[in-house]
Amino acid sequence: MTPLEFDAHHLWHPYTSVTEPGPTHMAVRTEGVRIHLEDGTAMIDGMSSWWSAIHGYNHPAIIGAVKAQLDQMPHVMFGGLTHQPAVDLGQRLLAMLPEGLTRIFYCDSGSVAVEVAMKMAVQYQHSIGQTRRSRFASIRSGYHGDTWKAMSVCDPVTGMHHIFKGALSVQHFVDTPPIAFGQEWVEDPAANGLASLAACLEAHGDEIAALILEPIVQGAGGMYFYHPEYLNAARALCDAHGVLLIFDEIATGFGRTGKAFATDHTEITPDIICLGKAITGGTMSFAATVASDKVAEGIGGAEPGVFMHGPTFMGNPLACAAAGASLALLQEGDWQARVARIEAQMAAELAPARKLPGVADVRVLGAIGVIEMDHVVSAAQAHPISKELGVWLRPFGRNIYAMPPFVTEPEDLSRITGAMVHLAGVL
């Protein structure tokens, strides 16, 4: 068996058939914004390895921090012990996060960060005597991860609720905010989506612990950008009904939308925020759930007094070192100018796709560019074409999209946008 044959027979891949796995490439090395394959092809990464490699690959500052930490102390348990990388990262996170988010829970992956946030919400409600509040509200077309509670608040159609019916918690779903980012806001609740949220909270508010949503950008659920005013008003509705507000910024955090966090497009602060993906600059799996003092002190002030969660590898020093180095690059670098430049260039270079037959919409926000088709496009068909063009893209659903590393140079970005427009013309 060749290594690729072994892979095809024995290794599961994300959302991939095990019986008809389709083409899989052997990656051997990364450098800058490029992934090098065994056959000698170098591909410019338009995906940042699923939103994570914001500084490109093998950044010497991150590699150096991880190597130094590896020699000193790869891991210790976080129960009863702490360490400098965890403290340094916490300080950097607080300096960057919206004010009011102060209590950091380190965890293993985005999905776990969502589980932790949902558990915090339920335990907080319990601590203030709201023991009936064990359900959640969310907006349609969302994506929050693949573990059970996270999956229960994913879009009920694309989140495969029909397959897992019976095993999934039943949650409340409200309409996707209909007014797009950049469109004019309208006050009529029937037209701006808030009537749906208000009706849900009116009917079920007393059994809902929290509203969880992806602020501004719905990622894996459809690459849709919506109006910040929706969130300002949602905050007020949640407050009126005693419902906490959880922002899942796992995809949007750390500069992707042009602001440090998508929350920064709004005038409000959530009670709990979930961070992941880009937190280690794409080096390794790591995430964080950050709560307000109100949530943390509520949980601390009532039986059992401790938050009932604690992963084995919580606060792993290697991951903290990678994340600390990644945040230092953001805090000491010029990412805002770079993301603004990427936004302007993608907007200009993707615009011609609007005229192509089969293209429904073209939209750009920060370092996210989307060509939405009027039909589902096949990733398997797209791969050989984009590989030939030296660009790594992985369309899903009706969307041909890119979220390149912030360090992508204009020439490489033109190759990415060129490949996207080409794919829109042929798929």
Ligand X SMILES: *Cc1c(COP(=O)(O)O)cnc(C)c1O
Active site amino acids: 15, 143, 248, 277
Burial of 125: CB neighbours in 10 Å, binned 0-12, 13-18, 19+: buried
Where does this chain touch ligand X (CB under 6 A) — which range of 93-101, 139-147, 176-184, 195-203?
139-147
For residues 138 and 197, give the distance between their C-alpha atoms in angstroms, rounded to a whole number: 9
| CA-wise closest residue to 115 among 163, 153, 89 | 153
Residue 310 assigned to a binding site = yes
R_g over Cα of the chain: 21
- Give whichever of 298 and 315 is closer to ligand X, judged by the CB atom: 315
- Give whichever of 109 and 125 is closer to ligand X, judged by the CB atom: 109
114 binds ligand X (CB under 6 A): yes
251 binds ligand X (CB under 6 A): yes
Q: Report how many residues bind ligand X under the rule CB under 6 A.
A: 15
DSSP 226: B
Residue 34 assigned to a binding site = no
Contact with ligand X (CB under 6 A) among 145, 317, 324, 366: 145
280 binds ligand X (CB under 6 A): no
Shortest distance in whole angstroms from residue 282 CB to ligand X: 12
Residue 392 assigned to a binding site = no
For residues 419 and 17, give the distance between their C-alpha atoms in angstroms, rounded to a whole number: 26
Contact with ligand X (CB under 6 A) among 276, 281, 366, 405: 276
- Give whichever of 52 and 269 is closer to ligand X, judged by the CB atom: 52
**Spatial contact of 400 and 382, defined as CB atoms under 8 Å apart:** yes
Contact with ligand X (CB under 6 A) among 78, 143, 247, 401: 143
In the chain, the amino acid numbered 164 is F
Block residue for tokens 């976080």: 78
DSSP 15: T
| CA-wise closest residue to 149 among 173, 167, 131 | 167
Residue 248 assigned to a binding site = yes
Q: What distance lies between CA 125 and its chain's CA centroid?
A: 26
Residue 277 assigned to a binding site = yes
Contact with ligand X (CB under 6 A) among 46, 89, 105, 109: 109
**How, if at all, do strands 359-365 and 244-248 pair?**
unpaired
**Residue nearest ligand X, CB atom distance:** 110
For residues 226 and 188, give the distance between their C-alpha atoms in angstroms, rounded to a whole number: 16
The string of DSSP codes covering 302-367 is STT-S-S---TTTT-HHHHHHHHHHHHHHHHS-HHHHHHHHHHHHHHHHGGGGGSTTEEEEEEETT
**Spatial contact of 405 and 62, defined as CB atoms under 8 Å apart:** no
Where does this chain touch ligand X (CB under 6 A) — which range of 137-145, 230-238, 323-331, 413-421?
137-145
| CA-wise closest residue to 281 among 12, 24, 30 | 30
Block residue for tokens 């589902």: 376
**Spatial contact of 353 and 364, defined as CB atoms under 8 Å apart:** no
- Give whichever of 277 and 387 is closer to ligand X, judged by the CB atom: 277
110 binds ligand X (CB under 6 A): yes
Strand boundaries in 52-166, DSSP class E = 101-107, 135-139
Residue 155 assigned to a binding site = no
Residue 219 assigned to a binding site = no
Shortest distance in whole angstroms from residue 187 CB to ligand X: 29
Q: What distance lies between CA 161 and its chain's CA centroid?
A: 21
317 binds ligand X (CB under 6 A): no
Residue 386 assigned to a binding site = no
248 binds ligand X (CB under 6 A): yes
- Give whichever of 287 and 382 is closer to ligand X, judged by the CB atom: 287
214 binds ligand X (CB under 6 A): yes
For residues 217 and 223, give the distance between their C-alpha atoms in angstroms, rounded to a whole number: 7
289 binds ligand X (CB under 6 A): no
271 binds ligand X (CB under 6 A): no
- Give whichever of 220 and 423 is closer to ligand X, judged by the CB atom: 220
Quick note: the x/- pattern for ligand X over 402-421, rule CB under 6 A, is --------------------
- Give whichever of 220 and 364 is closer to ligand X, judged by the CB atom: 220
Shortest distance in whole angstroms from residue 67 CB to ligand X: 24
Which residues pair with residue 396 across a beta bridge?
399
Contact with ligand X (CB under 6 A) among 34, 83, 144, 338: 144
Catalog residues that contact ligand X under the rule CB under 6 A. Answer: 109-111, 114, 143-145, 214, 219-220, 248, 250-251, 276-277
**Binding-site residue positions for pyridoxal 5'-phosphate:** 110-111, 248, 311-312
